[in-house]
Chain A
């Protein structure tokens, strides 16, 4: 869990929050903050109640759902709903989601990293123009471009393929990735690059041997952020795919809801199952994830 950035020469406080998960903020709390505590617990309740409801309901059978108190756990919990969902091609949708997510996040990171390096280290009108294009991309609701994208994908005979989801996902992930990566890279001291240059290093080597290790927290942040987005994406799959063979998880929830609208516990079991993979990842990589995201957007 190497979340700290070690710098030999640090002119300004560097990506501090990455390393500061436990940095105490001494605001001299002489007396406890009751109001803050109350608000904090209240929000927890707001967060937890729906989650609790979904989980307990997914364990009820149809009869139990109609007769028992909605907020009480089932008297006889059953996993039948989960069985039903798993029998309905859950594994395929999961695999599709995985392919689309990895297939978009890795290339997006790769090209965005190179672009960020060029923008931070390079000079010239072309690069500043490039940077402005990406900044513009952040401000535009890119969903508005879905109709021409649909046209392009259809014309390229990629409609209803996973590639149709991957290509635009890469493009849409680029602006925010370049922004976060270049913000981090600006803090890498110039002297380090210069001394590597003096040693005769090429840009390619500097990028992977210096810039990448130095911006590792940002790379992780960007990777996670994009992965969450693509994994949970709904609009592209809705418009660019059609058949069950190319269905991804969020879309499968929606179609499942349509097919099993009378069986609410089963629908909610599909919600739990679709969330479970991310929850597992969260439990395993929680620290990295939270500190990365906090740092990535507070810069």
Chain B
């Protein structure tokens, strides 16, 4: 309406593309290939696993609808309860161990001294190893006769770590931490580096010491980093399959047979795909519930708040 002021919009209206073209944004078709792949190999199988949990199938022959019988098998089996317990224990202990270590190491490596940067470079090495490699290395290292214990001449280290059903869970937790703390350290390191230095400068003028700065600036500023890292840690612990499969194969007995491993062994070793699918459904429900809970804990949608606090 006004003819005196030329706003950006008006300019654009006069130039070739219409305002509509300008605002329309790209076609949704650009997202289609990614969506198609994901639907086909993730969402569809997700529905598939629910369907298969109501069937009988040995993995080779015919798939037969069989009502709730797989669910009855799974729910009546004490090994399922045990697998849930083992999963919860591994999740809990590995979180308790990993979270503080990676937070502290992340803060430590974010500082500017050269030697810390050099340490951070070496910390990264476990991330390059496959879980299979890590498991094989630790199996050898923990050998009571030819491993670390006898090597250092420390009798208490020369135990049958992987054969002792009371100890093995903690060994697993340790190996998990060894492999995954470096990754979370990296996440925290990045988080700490995003904290504006002005906050620290101000705190210093106010006379806050290092510990005060840590609790009053670093920790609160790392809130979203903590949520990201914790979510990855907790949901990730439902995928520790390969490490444990190679390290202990779930044993001794059932002492490290966590849910994903139980699912694999039920499906591909005991050839009961129906029961394995029911276990898969349980796995999905737990993972989803945990992730939603952790996001809720964050208070709001992280993606909407990307630019805040930066």
Contact = CB atoms under 8 A, between A and B. Distances in A.
B is bound to A: yes
B33 interface: yes
Interface in A40-61: 40-41, 43-44, 46-51, 53-54, 57
Contact of B123 (A29, A44, A146): A44
B37 to A, nearest CB: 5
A286 B121 contact: yes
Interface string B255-290: 000001001100110000100110011011011100
Given A17-B194, A171-B42, A118 B108 contact: no
Interface string A110-126: 01101101110111101
Contact of B287 (A65, A124, A144, A147): A144
Contacts of A253: 130, 132-133, 136
Main secondary structure of the interface of A (DSSP, over half): helix
B75 interface: no
Interface stretch (B76-84, B159-167, B237-245): B237-245
Given A50-B137, A141-B283, A144-B263, A25 B49 contact: no
A143 interface: yes
Which of A69, A114, A145, A290 has the most chain B CB atoms inside 10 A of its CB?
A145
B130 A200 contact: no
Which of B148, B190, B276 has the most chain A CB atoms inside 10 A of its CB?
B190
B225 interface: yes
A17 B109 CA distance: 13
A133 B43 contact: yes
A49 B310 CA distance: 38
A25 B122 contact: no
A47 B182 CA distance: 9
B190 A70 contact: no
Contacts of B121: 286, 290
B22 A194 contact: yes
Given A26-B197, A143-B241, A232-B130, A187 B307 contact: yes
Contacts of B264: 146, 235, 239
A235 B264 CA distance: 9
Interface in B131-186: 131-133, 136-138, 140-141, 143, 146-148, 150-152, 178, 181-182, 186
Contact of A24 (B29, B112, B195, B245): B112
Interface string B276-310: 11001101101110011001000000010011001
Nearest to A254: B132
Nearest to A53: B141
Contact of A43 (B123, B127, B241, B306): B123
A294 B137 contact: no
A250 B242 contact: yes
Contacts of B107: 36
A268 interface: yes
B41 to A, nearest CB: 3
A23 B277 CA distance: 50
Given A137-B42, A144-B287, A298-B191, A254 B25 contact: no
B130 A12 contact: no
B126 A231 contact: no
A157 interface: no
Contact of A172 (B41, B109, B193, B310): B41
Contact of A274 (B111, B133, B210): B133
Nearest to B48: A148
Contacts of A12: 307, 310
B136 A145 contact: no
B119 interface: yes
A17 B37 contact: no
A203 B210 contact: no
A171 B283 contact: no
A54 B126 CA distance: 13
Given A130-B35, A275-B130, 16 more contacts: A27-B213, A28-B200, A71-B152, A72-B151, A112-B34, A114-B31, A118-B25, A133-B35, A135-B303, A141-B286, A144-B287, A145-B46, A150-B59, A234-B246, A264-B143, A298-B188
The 3 A-B residue pairs with the shortest CB-CB distance in the complex, in nearest-first order: A298-B190, A148-B48, A71-B151
23 contacts: A13-B310, A16-B193, A25-B193, A27-B204, A27-B213, A47-B125, A66-B146, A70-B146, A71-B152, A111-B34, A127-B28, A135-B303, A141-B283, A141-B287, A144-B260, A147-B52, A175-B38, A232-B130, A257-B136, A264-B140, A279-B125, A296-B190, A297-B187
